[in-house]
Structures are given as C-alpha cells and as structure tokens.
Amino acid sequence: MKFIENQEWRYATKEFDPNRKITAEQLESLKKAIQLSVSSYGLQLYKVLIIENKEVRAKLRPASWNQSQITDASHLFVFCNYTRVSEQNIDSYVELIAATRELEKENLQGYGDFMKAKIDEKSIDDQFQWTKHQTYIALANLLSACAELKIDTCPMEGFEAATYNEVLGLTERGLNASVIVPVGYRSNTDTTQSLAKVRKPLAQLFEML
C-alpha cells in the first residue's frame, strides 16, 4: 500500500533547502487536494493563503518562534478559519450546490434552513472553534498529498496567530490564522530525517469493541 509507505517516508522537516522549489504543476495538485478535502456540511469555512513572497515570510518568521522553515521552504501555507459563520455563507453554498448539480435552488431551501438552524445554535466562540477544527481536516489532505509527491512539510502550531492576522490583514476579512505548513524539500543537513519514527504500538493505540 503506497499510502502507508508514503507516511513512513514523511516527517516534520526541520531544515528545508532554500534553493529547491516546488513546480507550478505540483502546486496546482496540492491546491486540488485541499479543495477536495471533506468538511462539515461541505461548507469549507476557511481560506488557504499560499505565501511565496520572501519579504512577507521574513515578517512572519519572528512570530513563528524564529523557525527557519518559514523562510527557507519553497512555500508557506497558512490555513485561515472564518471567525464566524453568516447566513450569506450558507446561501452561497446552496447556490453552488444548485449550479454544480443543476438543481433548482428552491428545492434546496430546506437543507439551507437546516444548516442555518444548526449553526445558530452555536455561540460565536463555538463557531470559531468549529471552523478552526475544519482547517485541520484540510491540513491532513495537504500532508498526504505532499507525501505522495515526495514533497516535504512541517505542520506548525508554534506561531503567534494575532501577529499573523495583523501582518496578513486577516482580522478585517473575518479570518484567523489557524495552522501553518511550510512546504518544500528537506536539506541534506537536516539530521532529523534519519531518525526512526516514534509512534505508539498498535495494540496500545487501538481498542476493538
């Protein structure tokens, strides 16, 4: 099974080769993998910034515990969750369903009203946490797609979201930096690539009922 082999190959890359870049074709494949990720109701209440600009990444590095991956990787993916969910978000999704599946929008009103009712049950903070959790599902797809293409990654929560929000102008757009992923190619000097992967034994991790 290639998937397992790919997961054995990948690791959280600590040092990237700043001279190696992913191709435009590879980038499109990664974007497609994220686009096809599952999400609650299919709403995809997040946006993904793909930052190649070196000056922008230099501004973000101090807010990322000064980790070199931010500036040395080929690209920096910043997953941003919606800070709250509006009725317009639901309406836009219903319109997209209707257009994609060639359905009458009126026939989907019940589904739209159902989603609105369930989301209205959530407080603003609950909405924030819910949309933030959705970004991690998309993150998993990115990591797996990169592993298949033999592209290195390093998912990170070690960054100051407030500073990212300020530098990238996210707050005024109703967005929040949730999780970040430098993407590129490992450096030959990264000694962690040769370390054995440490995971709990299957018997300890799983329980059959």
User: What is the domain count for the chain?
Assistant: 1
Q: Do the domain assignments include residue 98?
A: no
Q: Do the domain assignments include residue 60?
A: yes
pLDDT of res. 1: 76
Which CATH number does the domain housing residue 201 bear?
3.40.109.10
**Helix count and strand count (H, E) for the chain:** 9, 4
List, in order, residues 6 or more apart from 57 with CB less than 8 Å away.
Answer: 51, 70, 71, 76
Q: Do the domain assignments include residue 117?
A: no
Q: Do the domain assignments include residue 171?
A: yes
Tell me which residue range forms the domain holding 42.
Answer: 2-85+122-205
Q: Do the domain assignments include residue 8?
A: yes
How are beta strands 152-153 and 175-184 bridged, if at all? antiparallel
Q: 107-110 contacts: CB < 8 A, separation 24 or more? A: none
Q: With the CA atoms of 113, 119, 120 and 126 taken in that order, what torsion angle do they form, in degrees rounded to the nearest 10?
A: 180
pTM, two decimals, is 0.97
Burial zone of 131 (CB within 10 Å; 0-12 exposed, 13-18 middle, 19+ buried):
buried
pLDDT of res. 101: 97
Q: Do the domain assignments include residue 99?
A: no
Residues of the chain where predicted confidence (pLDDT) is lower than 50: none
Q: Do the domain assignments include residue 46?
A: yes
Q: Do the domain assignments include residue 127?
A: yes
